[in-house]
Amino acid sequence: MDAGVKISDLQEAGIERYEIRLATNFTARRNFLPEHVKGRKPKYGALIRPLPREHKGKTLEAITPDEIYIWLENGRELRAEIWRDLVLNKTEPSEKSKTFDVYAIYDPDFDKPWLLAISLKLKPESVRAIYKDRWPVEQIPLSAKQMVGAHRQFVHNFESIQRLPELALLAGSVLTFLAATIPAIPTGFWDRKPKRTPGRLRRTLFGKPFPKDAILSGQLREKKSVTAHLPKGHLARQLGNYPKTAF
């Protein structure tokens, strides 16, 4: 999962196997109490800050990792700094606490490291590969929502709530497949090196009329709505916020 989801959300949902990208200012704690020197006994484990950050004009240094792992991939040297068996900041140390490992993976192709948390014990190569596999998974929902326009559709009937995402994903799959198999279509004269993307194909299809020679089912037809009485252009924007009785 991406950084928009929190580890606490996953734990509350009972998800035991996960990998999630963390914010650069993420902090966690050890799952054991630090040594008591004087004063009040500590309630939480020692604070772990994987990456340094600025706070009130001061630099808060990163905590030394438990392990450092270096490997080669496609001629590039990658480094992973690992902190083991951590818990959330407000979690008291316990044998029953839900722990996770944090990986800071440094790649020369990126300016900032990837900060990942995972609940499994895996090699750094596998941790990085799992997160990379998240990107192609989002291709079809991206094509279905942003390219087809399903993100602007709202339904309330129970059957429609189930059917709309199914049809959107089907349309996104078809759009992605066609864009990848037919020749690249430029957006305009300025698009000198077009790529086979669903967005370019959608813009091309958007300017085409609805097919008249295709044999369609009686349930699938072009809706001929009457729009002559509605305001057009700039006038529609001006009157868009007024109640319908104003028309």
Q: Is the pLDDT of residue 245 over 50?
A: no
Higher pLDDT, 132 or 240: 132
Task: Tell me what the mean pLDDT of segment 146-167 comes to.
Answer: 85
Q: Is the pLDDT of residue 44 over 90?
A: yes
How does the average pLDDT of the chain come out, rounded? Answer: 86
pLDDT attached to residue 116: 96
Higher pLDDT, 11 or 140: 11
Task: Tell me what the mean pLDDT of segment 125-149 comes to.
Answer: 84
pLDDT attached to residue 221: 67
Continuous H helices in the chain: 7-12, 124-132, 134-137, 139-142, 158-181, 198-206, 233-239
Q: Is the pLDDT of residue 246 over 60?
A: no
Domain boundaries, the chain: 7-134, 138-209
pTM of the model: 0.65
pLDDT attached to residue 222: 67
Confidence of residue 160 (pLDDT cuts 50, 70, 90): confident
Q: Is the pLDDT of residue 95 over 70?
A: yes
Q: How far apart are CA 128 and CA 130, in angstroms?
A: 6
Higher pLDDT, 55 or 124: 124
Confidence of residue 158 (pLDDT cuts 50, 70, 90): confident
Q: How far apart are CA 157 and CA 236, in angstroms?
A: 29
Q: How far apart are CA 102 and CA 62, in angstroms?
A: 13
Nearest to 24 by CA among 115, 107, 100, 106: 115
Amino acid letter for position 35: E
Higher pLDDT, 188 or 31: 31
Q: How far apart are CA 38 and CA 63, in angstroms?
A: 23
Percentage of the chain modeled with pLDDT above 70: 92
